[in-house]
Amino acid sequence: MTLGAFSISLAVKDINTSKAFYENLGFSVFAGQLENNYLIMKNGNALVGLFQGMFENNILTFNPGWDENANVLKDFDDVRTIQKDLKSKGITLESEANETTNGPASFVVLDPDGNVVLVDQHV
């Protein structure tokens, strides 16, 4: 099973302060809109999403179909295939992708410690 690009989405208190902090660590703005309170910061292959006021807890995010530069991959495991595999293993989903559709979709699972894992396909 290939989950695609990995990033962590951080629930931040002040996006400007967090932006400056991550810039000091060598990250630069890759995507997002500061005026809409979200940025995707990149340092090499590392991606950190900064989100102010959008969700309460940090989220581990995987993007099937994308590499770390948001380039579409020719071959990838569709989010619905990944979801079916996890369900067959008895993993409980918090939200599910519609398995009768194609293209963009997502699902959410919690790891054993309650961390949110979002599998979010954009293609």
Encode pLDDT of 42-97 as tens digits: 999 999 999 999 999 999 999 999 999 999 999 999 999 999 999 999 999 999 99
In the chain, the number of structural domains is 1
Share of the chain above pLDDT 70, in %: 100
From 3, 2, 6, select the one nearest 69 (Cα to Cα).
Answer: 6
47: containing domain? 5-121
Reduced to 3 states, what is the DSSP secondary structure of residue 82? Answer: helix
According to the model, what pLDDT value does residue 111 have?
95
Q: For residue 67, what is the domain's CATH number?
A: 3.10.180.10
Q: What is the pTM of this model?
A: 0.91
